[in-house]
Structure 1
Amino acid sequence: METHTALKRPEVLAPAGTLEKLKTAIHYGADAVYIGGNAYGLRSRAGNFSLEEMAEGVAYAKAHNAKVYVAANMVTHEGNQEGAGEFFRQIRDVGISAVIVSDPALIEICITEAPGLPVHLSTQASATNYETLEFWKEEGLERVVLAREVSMEEVAEIRKHTDIQIEAFVHGAMCISYSGRCVLSNHMSMRDANRGGCSQSCRWKYDLFDMPFGTEAHESLTAKGQVTEPFSMSAVDMSMIEHIPDLIQNGVDSLKIEGRMKSIHYVSTVSNVYKAAVDSYMADPEHYQVKEEWIDELWKVAQRELSTGFYYHTPTDQEQLFGPRRKIPQYTFIGEVMAYDDATKIATVRQRNHFSVGDEIEFYGPGFQHFTQSVTEMKNDEGESIDRAPNPMMILTMPVVQPVSVGDMIRKKKEA
């Protein structure tokens, strides 16, 4: 144990596209969350926060010893930076812990016009070496979010040469290009990926054509039927749950989960898993073991196959969304617990997806509390017995076989 006394517990940093997701992430173990404001961000379709919502989110976070960061990582064109100084001052005064920026103009504006608001360099800036991190440290930044293309060997080398805080992605979607360097969406759909409008053109399915030099376009031959499936340029998702010790031992200060557009089912599950893994390692590094239940849990919310990205090798065709898929157990998020009566063992539930009497369902909560049961009976909010819950957000009651808590989630396995 002596060799591990200097290990620092990393922050588990979760995405929060809405105020509900912010509270969910923190309730399920996140030490910090990152959100978008109503300007200068890269998720124009996420539920970006007003100043009032930020204030409520910050108050909730502080009450639970957590932090809130704001992503303002767009690339600015002429005129886009107008009003940025006031925006940064407002979020500073609300109590935001740091702003995540990639554009040097916005960084300069924040440092000079909103002193006291820490600045973190976004992954959009593609920082891949310690000289770059040292440069930004000298500019006054406190933390750098590494490019997702950095290897674990490079992480170790970077940490040896700089003491600036390092944040690294550990879970979620990967960009097929260097983050912040892709213009596919601009070309395909005239939506600027670097200014909040990415249409994820890399995930579209493409045909292949045989177009010999000099041949008119209408004479080209499609390869449809000659390949197993349409081609995409999309990467599988990242998951580093099996490599927490490497990240901690190499000095990563913040473990970042991607997914501001994802559901509360995803946010709660992934935050819960990484919190459990980090806690387990820090409690006893010498005897730490990856638990199969953590991996199984992540697959319950997986949308694509999983890999370790660039951390241990350059991705191959096995890390692309092409060819035969591994079978992934799919679960549907069906509800959340609103109240529980210990005397009657009745839970009040808000429905999020259809389920019926007779279904096998799973309850889960913070700290890896899990159990399964069959739905034996349900009543609507008027006390009438019902055999199914078809209406979104309807309130119902049901008996449960174990105690549950407000905020616990419910899911069921999808039909084959």
Structure 2
Amino acid sequence: MTTRTNQNKPELLMPAGDLQKLKTAVRYGADAVYLGTEDFGLRAHAGNFSLEDLCAAREITREAGVAIYLTLNASLRPGEFVALEQLLEKLKPLELDAYIVADPGVLTTIRKVDPQRAIHISTQANSCNPQAAEFWRLAGANRLNLARELTLEDIRAFAEQTEMELECFVHGAMCVAHSGRCLISAALNERSANRGDCSQPCRWNYQLTEQTRPTEPMNVEEDFRGTYFFNSRDLCLIEQLPDLIAAGVHSFKVEGRMKSLYYVATAARIYRDAIDRLWDDPTDIDPLWREELEKVSHRPYDTGFLLGTDDAKVHPADTHYVRTHDFVGFVRRDENGLWVEGRNRFLLGDELELIGPQMKQEKFTAANIRTLAGKELQAGNPNYQLRMLLPDWADDGDLIRRKRPEKK
């Protein structure tokens, strides 16, 4: 482990696919959130934010002391810059903390319309060396997201040779393409990943066909599960955080603007606890962190390219997620007290678990389930609004999960 090169505790940067996920990220420990508008980001099918939503998001984050970064990292075409300038003019009064960009033309436009705004360089820029960082710094950027293909040694060298803030992904989905710049989706069904409309063909099951026998597909591998050429594992660097802190990374970013509330809450609470504890003691790695991250829906975890190993990053078994737990309810509060918004079915007598910020969690039994009007229920179901017995410390924004029965 090298000597720590930056003196500030690294930032926890969480995804916010919509306003409720933003509130969850803030409550569960994010230092900053990143989100997109309905244009010029790379998640066309995330909830995304209208201008009105952005105003609300700005108020929430300002009150909580949390930074807000807006993604403008799509690759633009010539006819789109007028609309970009119009959007930037509307955004100026919100005083967002930074814009995330990849296109030099977008950066130049921001410098013209809103010259005081901080600019962060997206992973889409494929920044693999300190020389690239210097190019972006001279162009006016403040921070750079490191290419996911870099090793720990590469990151150490980066930090020693650049004056820019460095950000890296530590958790979430990975892409088969170099830093996410993929053409497969556009080639197969005319949906461009580089313009926010990826159809994720890397997750599909592929077969081989011979031209004169198109109705007789063959598996390329002799495996009953199918053939998944491009299906990347998910990234999880929770155990490598001490090395990344020591290397000089300023911000740890979690992927997942299209992921669930449960994912956002779980990832935020774990990485918040890990950053805080490891900052004080780099040896204080808690096995509970990895155990908890295994309880969110994910593909098999991997350390990506960080350790410089030659292990396959593709998961050939199938494209399905590992799911050991279901998110079954979201705790709300009104003038009459706490109630639960149902998200998945659970039954009277089921063993459930409540989770909250600061690593709070407690198992309890589903009991006294009632409608808001007081009618007894035998189960909670999606979209049900109900009251039930909860642990004493339960509060607005806590989540309820249930372990899935083991398959026989």
TM-score band (shorter)? over 0.9
CA contact (8 A) 1:8 1:248 kept: no
Q: What does 1:383-398 align with in structure 2 at a 5 Å threshold?
A: 383-390=374-381, 392-398=382-388
Q: What does 1:10-409 align with in structure 2 at a 5 Å threshold?
A: 10-209=10-209, 211=210, 216=212, 218=214, 222-223=218-219, 226-232=222-228, 233-285=230-282, 288-317=283-312, 319-323=313-317, 328=322, 330-339=324-333, 347-390=338-381, 392-409=382-399
Question: What do residues 180-231 of structure 1 show as CA deviations (whole Å, max 9, x unaligned)?
Answer: 531100011110111111001111110134x5xxx74659762378334221
User: In 2, distance between residues paired with 1:255 and 1:226?
Assistant: 40
- 1:264 deviates by 0.6
> Secondary structure of the residue that 2:239 maps to in structure 1?
helix
The corresponding residue for 2:401 is 411
- 1:4 deviates by 6.0
- 1:326 deviates by 12
User: In 2, distance between residues paired with 1:118 and 1:329?
Assistant: 39
CA contact (8 A) 1:107 1:119 kept: yes
Tell me which stretches of 4 or more aligned residues in structure 1 moved more than 6 Å.
324-327
User: In 2, distance between residues paired with 1:80 and 1:316?
Assistant: 41
User: In 2, distance between residues paired with 1:395 and 1:62?
Assistant: 31
User: In 1, distance between residues paired with 2:71 and 2:64?
Assistant: 21
- 1:382 deviates by 1.1
Amino acid at match of 1:301: V
Amino acid at match of 1:227: D
Unaligned runs of 5+ in 1: none
Structure 2 CA distance for partners of 1:400 and 1:4, relative to 1, 3 Å:
same
User: In 1, distance between residues paired with 2:279 and 2:204?
Assistant: 41
In angstroms, what is the RMSD of aligned CA positions?
2.3
CA contact (8 A) 2:338 2:396 kept: no
> Secondary structure of the residue that 2:392 maps to in structure 1?
coil
- 1:400 deviates by 2.5
Structure 2 CA distance for partners of 1:401 and 1:254, relative to 1, 3 Å:
closer
CA contact (8 A) 2:299 2:320 kept: no
User: In 2, distance between residues paired with 1:406 and 1:220?
Assistant: 56
> Secondary structure of the residue that 1:79 maps to in structure 2?
helix
- 1:399 deviates by 1.6
- 1:347 deviates by 4.4
Identity of aligned residues (%): 35
- 1:82 deviates by 2.1
Task: Pick which of 110-119 and 224-233 moved more.
Answer: 224-233
TM-score normalised by the chain length of structure 1: 0.91
- 1:340 deviates by 9.1
> Secondary structure of the residue that 1:170 maps to in structure 2?
strand
User: In 2, distance between residues paired with 1:329 and 1:70?
Assistant: 31
Unaligned runs of 5+ in 2: none
User: In 2, distance between residues paired with 1:371 and 1:402?
Assistant: 10
> Secondary structure of the residue that 1:81 maps to in structure 2?
helix
CA contact (8 A) 2:151 2:308 kept: yes
> Secondary structure of the residue that 1:362 maps to in structure 2?
strand
CA contact (8 A) 2:299 2:321 kept: no
Structure 2 CA distance for partners of 1:263 and 1:218, relative to 1, 3 Å:
closer
Amino acid at match of 2:357: P
> Secondary structure of the residue that 2:178 maps to in structure 1?
coil
Between the two proteins, the alignment pairs up a number of residues equal to 403
Amino acid at match of 1:370: Q
